Amino acid sequence: MKQKNETAKKLISNIVLIGLVSFFIDMSNEMVYPILPLFLTSGLGASPAIVGIIEGIAESIASLLKVFSGYIGDAYHKKKPLTLIGYCASVLYKIILLFAGSWAGVLVARVIDRTGKGIRTAPRDALVAQSSDQKKLGGSFGLHKMFDMAGSAIGAFLAFLFVATALPYRSIFLWSIIPCIIGISIIPLIREKKDDRPIGEKLTFRGLKLSGRVKMYFAVIFLFCLGNSSNVFLLLKAKERGFTSAQVMLLYLIFNVSASLLAIPSGKFSDKFGRRSILVPGYLIYGLVYLGFAVFTSKIPIILLFIAYGAYTAFISGAERAFVSEASPEDYKGTVLGIYGMLQGVGLLFSSIIAGALWDRINSNAPFWFGGILGIFSALAIVIILGSNRIQNPAKKPA
């Protein structure tokens, strides 16, 4: 019993360490992210379409790396080193932003940042899954997401303070490097489980077998992501609705606080009542939030929509990663999580370009009508695909 308790404590501490890394890195990133569309549009004269192209290109390039980094982490037991390399890109991202004199420079910086995310995300999520009690995957991913969003909330609050005090954008970029370095310094303390399987033995893409239900679920994710454009469009929409730049930072803070507070309860809820019980409401909330951005023009409904958007993020993040992880063959968890991330990234490429084009060529409500309809359709499709509320793990370790 004592040994079992010690093992449980080690697993929890490992998840907490991974969470702390995300906490500081996301604090750093969110000091910059909500400012970036303002920096691009008011500082560098870029249009919403250019903003969409930058976000789409950066995310799509990074997304292609997620599968390969996940596979390398699985095949060569290098999850922790890949996580370290990926997070180091966040420092380089801010340094390039310091010297960016045009939207092209920002594009280069965002590509480097998202490339780092592409390298680190699947191995990091695999480390979380590896460090978790398999019956509590939703709670474990929820705990990690709580740290992630708490860091984001603090970063967004700092961004608000910086904008409210009229601190120059480039000074903000410089300050954002500090928490990034703190987060990276924690990574050496994380423990990666040693696999019994010899390095690289019989681990090929041909050996990856996924159930038909998982494949259909991935198809729905990709379709949904076509309407799930970058969050910068939400910030630009709030600015259009009459919020000041400082108030836009506060709205982003509200979103992050909402997601952080709900991440652990929603993850645990999915452990107890099944993934569908939280995924379907999550996608429905997303659809209604996007339709709300298209319909409402006054400030109070917009504030409530940002709170609801945080709920959607909390509902989806833990439960969906838990579902993907438990539906993956044991030796391929990083690889399948990478495929999941790749589909999201490629979808974001098209969705951000589509959203920017709809904004410029039709009106600023069009991207939100499009995303809202796809969100509701996705929720209905998930009801059909997942069937019974309880989700079992159909994956077997390949022979």
Question: 3-state DSSP call for residue 365?
Answer: coil
What's the CA gap between 38 and 211, in Å, rounded? 44
pLDDT in the model for residue 390: 47
Q: Which residues of the chain have pLDDT under 70?
A: 1-12, 56, 59, 194-208, 388-399
pLDDT in the model for residue 103: 83
Q: Residue 317 domain-assigned? A: yes
pLDDT in the model for residue 3: 47
Q: Residue 116 domain-assigned? A: yes
Provide the CB-side half-sphere exposure for 118 (13 A, CA).
Answer: 24
Q: How far is CA 119 from CA 68, 83, 94, in A?
A: 8, 7, 18
Write out the residue range of the structural domain in which residue 89 sits.
2-191+204-386
What's the CA gap between 171 and 192, in Å, rounded? 37
Q: Residue 395 domain-assigned? A: no
What CATH number is attached to the domain comprising 136? 1.20.1250.20
Q: 33: closest CA among 188, 163, 186, 129?
A: 163
Q: Residue 159 domain-assigned? A: yes
Q: Residue 393 domain-assigned? A: no
What's the CA gap between 32 and 35, in Å, rounded? 5
Q: 40: closest CA among 58, 63, 65, 61?
A: 58
Q: 317: closest CA among 187, 149, 66?
A: 149
Q: Residue 196 domain-assigned? A: no
pTM above 0.95, yes or no: no
What are the pLDDT digits (tens) for 99-121?
A: 888 888 888 888 898 888 888 88
Asked if 348 contacts 77 with a C-beta cutoff of 8 angstroms, the reply is no
Give all strands (DSSP E) within 222-320, no chain letters: none
Q: Residue 97 domain-assigned? A: yes
What domain count does the chain have?
1
Q: How far is CA 330 from CA 46, 208, 275, 278, in A?
A: 46, 10, 19, 24
Q: Residue 396 domain-assigned? A: no
Q: Given the structure tokens 């490097």, which residue do they identify?
A: 177
Q: 83: closest CA among 28, 122, 25, 128?
A: 122
What are the pLDDT digits (tens) for 267-288?
A: 888 888 888 889 999 999 999 9
